Amino acid sequence: MLAEVFRAHGYAGASLALIGTRTGLGKGSLYHAFPGGKVEMAQAVLDEIGAWFEGRIYASLRDTPDPRAAIRQMLAETDGYFRSGRRVCLVGAFALCDERDLFGDRIAGYFAQWRDALTQALRRCGHDTKAFDLAEDTVLAIQGGLVLARALDDPEVFGRMLKRLEWTLLGETTARVHPSTS
């Protein structure tokens, strides 16, 4: 809930009055839960997001005995989390404005962990030397897909990108036909 306010209006745009009405809490309750104020609220949201991705995506990519299944799961979870392109990535949005200076380590960590976990999975299924480049390109494409889908107000951009990623990461042996999307 708190995360959605930041997601919808950005850090600067999420005023305490707006947070209060959206969460149904007064300032007293908010500052009791987050003595550090707005900064601590955003940090808590970023930590929660990081924990979600760690549990649902990163851990599997690093540890699973079946890296191809973990990658497929990553694509599915990503599609679900971002509501098939209708939801914005809060971490990516924070990275673009000057909130990056406040939360720089958490923002960098989010992307670095994703990239490194995916690199490990890719190394264990054929892509040896290209694993890092492929992982970087994947994380990057997901962010770009979210930007473009929202800019064009066309969530299907995100779905097409995921299809292309599935093809690139897993090859034609698992996918059905060539992803010449309709």
Partner DNA sequence: AGGGCGCTGTACCGATCGGTACAGACATCG
Partner DNA sequence: CGATGTCTGTACCGATCGGTACAGCGCCCT
Q: Which residues bind DNA (CB under 7 A)?
A: 12, 14-18, 24-29, 31-33, 37-39
**Which one, 35 or 65, has the nearer CB to DNA?**
35
Positive or negative, the Cα torsion across 107, 133, 71, 143?
Answer: positive
Helices marked H in the chain — which ranges? 2-13, 16-23, 27-33, 38-53, 59-63, 67-81, 90-96, 100-123, 131-151, 156-170
Within 117-136, which residues bind a copy of itself (CB under 8 A)? Answer: 129-130, 133, 136
Answer for which of 145, 166, 169, 170 binds a copy of itself (CB under 8 A) is 145
The radius of gyration of the chain's CA atoms, rounded to the nearest angstrom, is 18
**Which one, 28 or 65, has the nearer CB to DNA?**
28
Q: Does 57 bind a copy of itself (CB under 8 A)?
A: no
For residue 131, the minimal CB distance to a copy of itself (Å) is: 11
C-alpha 135/C-alpha 36 separation (Å) is 36
Task: Determine how many CB atoms are found less than 10 A away from the CB of residue 154.
Answer: 13
Answer for which of 35, 153, 176, 177 binds a copy of itself (CB under 8 A) is 153
CA 148 to chain centre: 15
Number of residues that bind a copy of itself (CB under 8 A): 46
CA 67 to chain centre: 20
Which option in DNA, a copy of itself, none does residue 45 bind, with CB closer than 5 to 8 A by kind? none
- Binding residues for a copy of itself, per CB under 8 A? 8-10, 12-13, 88, 91-93, 95-98, 100, 104, 107-108, 110-112, 129-130, 133, 136-137, 139-148, 150-153, 157, 160-161, 164, 179-181
